[in-house]
Structure 1
Amino acid sequence: MLKNLVILGCASLQSLPRGLVHNGSKVITRCHLENLEILGCPSLRLFPTDELPAALKYLEIWDCNSIPEKLLQNNKSLEFIRIGNCKILKTLPRFLSTFEHLTEMHVNQCSSLEYFPDSGLPIHNLKTMLIANCDNLKSLPNRMHDLTSLQYLTVFGCSRIETFPEEGFPPNLLSLSIWGCKRVKLRFAMWRLHKLTSLKDLSVGDFDRDMVSFPEDSSIPPNLVHLRVQSLPELKFLSEGLLDLVSLEALDVWNCPKLRYLPKNGLPITLGVLRIRNCPLLEKECRGEKGAYWPIISLLPHVRINYADIL
């Protein structure tokens, strides 16, 4: 019985065979699809009976120009969906919110995507969401705060997003990565990240081209274990706020050409790993016994500068 199917590079394919769908007694078939990947089929317009196979758990649609609205109406088994490089797709199907068992969702390289459906996203079991390289996307989904199961959220390369949800990010996030959202006008301190008491991993960058000091007072939760700061061209100071991170174990600082200063009172005592990349002014102060910060970083178990371990 067929459970896995990959359709790749069929540029003229317009419809899939009816026998792919076996929902109840509608069709007698040897297909019981659980995994379906449709890649590089830009002419595809029709799915059999306008619905997905009832047992389908994994769906990937890549480089297909349209996704029929009815396609996502009645599926109750889907756990993973990836939609990518669908260049004329302006919004996602509104029935996404009905996927009760969906745990992971990726949306990537949909250059015409402007918004998510008003109906929102599945709120019951969604744990991982990635939104990447959607150049025209103007905002994140509505009611993100209701996604209480969401643990991993990545948003990058969405250059037209100007703000984030007023009610804040999902409250139980463990990992949050946001970078390349260059038009965000909301000051970092207003992101309300300090409310994310479960957050352990935070990666931010390329969003505030005027930021001089990071972090701003009480702007990030104190229980972080890993912090990455990158691509802030005017950043000069890592502030005393770092010392509030009482559980921090690893710190990455990348691509901050004007960064020169560490906190006056040193680094968190829990810090075990410091990685610095493409921050020439800070690198100079950290190298060798003559570096101003050598007495601080020499106490750390592991220090890496530009791919070379110095401790």
Structure 2
Amino acid sequence: MDVLCGSVNQLRLEFLPHEMLAKLTSLERLGIIESCDSMRTFPLGIFPKLWFLNFRKCQNLESFSIEGVDKNLRDLYIEDCPNLGGLPASNLNHFMINGCNNLKSFPERIHTLTALRGLVIYDLPNLVSFAECGLPPNLRDFSIDNCCERLRPSSVGEYWGLQGLFSLEEFSIGGRGSDDILERLFKEQLLPPNLHTLHINTLSSLKSLDINGLGHLTSLQQLHISGCDSLEFLPRLRHLTCFQQLHIYSCPSLEFLPEEGLPPSLSSLSISDCSALEKRTGYLLLESFSFARLLYCHFWGRVYHCI
């Protein structure tokens, strides 16, 4: 214990008494992983230089105090802490949280986190309140998965303000309860027109993508769709002049690609585990569309380099 002193700047924590932690005034990175089972509240204010924090599988963690480190903490990752009931707000750059079953709401002032660039949330089954004052205005990457089961679809339009996030480049949505959320996003064209990459995954009832929802995404470059068992066909894509990559995986009901063909700007196309499409077209798919500019194709386990 005597070797730990104020000069320590990185620590993998198994268990240390509060008195010892208080001496680590230069600590910059802190990971508490599958340990400290007796810990219910953690006093982060004793680490004035802390900028990276990771809580993982802390079964009894309920809350923590972040007073004194708001200005320094930039990266916060919280994983599989089922009893965590509250979150801090801080001057964060990146925030990821998953597997916290008791979490019901996010900080009310999350929209004031102007430095936040990446937000990843998933497996929060009891989340009922999220971004009711809006999302952080400078987000570049936002992912929400298995968190929408108890969220009202109307809250997307009322509160999130996605269409005003002019820095957002990548958006991912999927999991339980996300079908209605995505439908609202597309129907009301709530995704920002500057979006570059869209991921859609594990939506059980999604049968098609509303063309109106994609029509205004003139900067879209990549579309990734996976695990959508009911998806039957794709909308028109040729109007997307910047479109470069289309990746479709595990969509067994998908039978049709756009009749008018794919965008001529497309350079990478990957389709796998889409049994209905394979049965209908087989490898004739290569002859059904003009792939003059495709550099890479992947169909049902076979790779084509089209140069």
TM-score, normalised via structure 2 length: 0.79
Q: How far 1:70 sits from its partner (Å)? A: 7.2
Three-state SS of the structure 1 residue aligned to 2:228 is coil
* Corresponding residue for residue 135 of structure 1: 101
Q: How far 1:219 sits from its partner (Å)? A: 1.4
Equivalences, count: 276
* Corresponding residue for residue 274 of structure 1: 246
* Corresponding residue for residue 55 of structure 2: 83
* Corresponding residue for residue 142 of structure 2: 176
| Amino acid corresponding to residue 289 of structure 2 in structure 1 | P
- C-alpha distance 184-220 of structure 1, shift in aligned 2 (>3 A): farther
TM-score, normalised via structure 1 length: 0.78
* Corresponding residue for residue 90 of structure 2: 122
User: 1:157-168, aligned counterparts within 5 Å?
Assistant: 157-168=123-134
Three-state SS of the structure 2 residue aligned to 1:121 is coil
The answer to whether structure 1 residue 204 and structure 2 residue 173 are counterparts is yes
* Corresponding residue for residue 187 of structure 2: 216
CA contact (8 A) 2:48 2:68 kept: no
Q: How far 1:144 sits from its partner (Å)? A: 0.3
Unaligned runs of 5+ in 2: 255-273
Instruction: State how far apart, in whole Å, the 1-side matches of 2:146 and 2:302 are.
Output: 26
Q: How far 1:178 sits from its partner (Å)? A: 0.5
**Alignment deviations for residues 205-237 of structure 1 (CA, whole Å, 9 cap, x no partner):** 114265385723311111111110011100011
Q: How far 1:255 sits from its partner (Å)? A: 0.6
Cα root mean square deviation, aligned: 2.9
* Corresponding residue for residue 256 of structure 1: 228
Three-state SS of the structure 1 residue aligned to 2:233 is coil
Report sequence identity in percent.
27
User: 1:1-311, aligned counterparts within 5 Å?
Assistant: 17=1, 20-22=4-6, 32-38=7-13, 41=14, 44=15, 46-49=17-20, 51=22, 53-63=24-34, 64-67=36-39, 71-91=43-63, 93-96=64-67, 98-116=69-87, 120-123=88-91, 126-187=92-153, 189-190=156-157, 191-208=160-177, 210-211=179-180, 213=183, 215-240=186-211, 241-264=213-236, 266=238, 268-282=240-254, 283=274, 284-285=276-277, 287-288=281-282, 294-295=288-289, 302-304=296-298, 308-309=302-303
**Alignment deviations for residues 106-154 of structure 1 (CA, whole Å, 9 cap, x no partner):** 01110111222xxx4223xx10111011122111223100100000010
Structure 1 stretches of 4+ with a deviation exceeding 3 A read 66-71, 96-99, 209-214, 264-267, 283-291, 293-311
Three-state SS of the structure 1 residue aligned to 2:120 is strand
**Alignment deviations for residues 56-79 of structure 1 (CA, whole Å, 9 cap, x no partner):** 111111122245857422422111
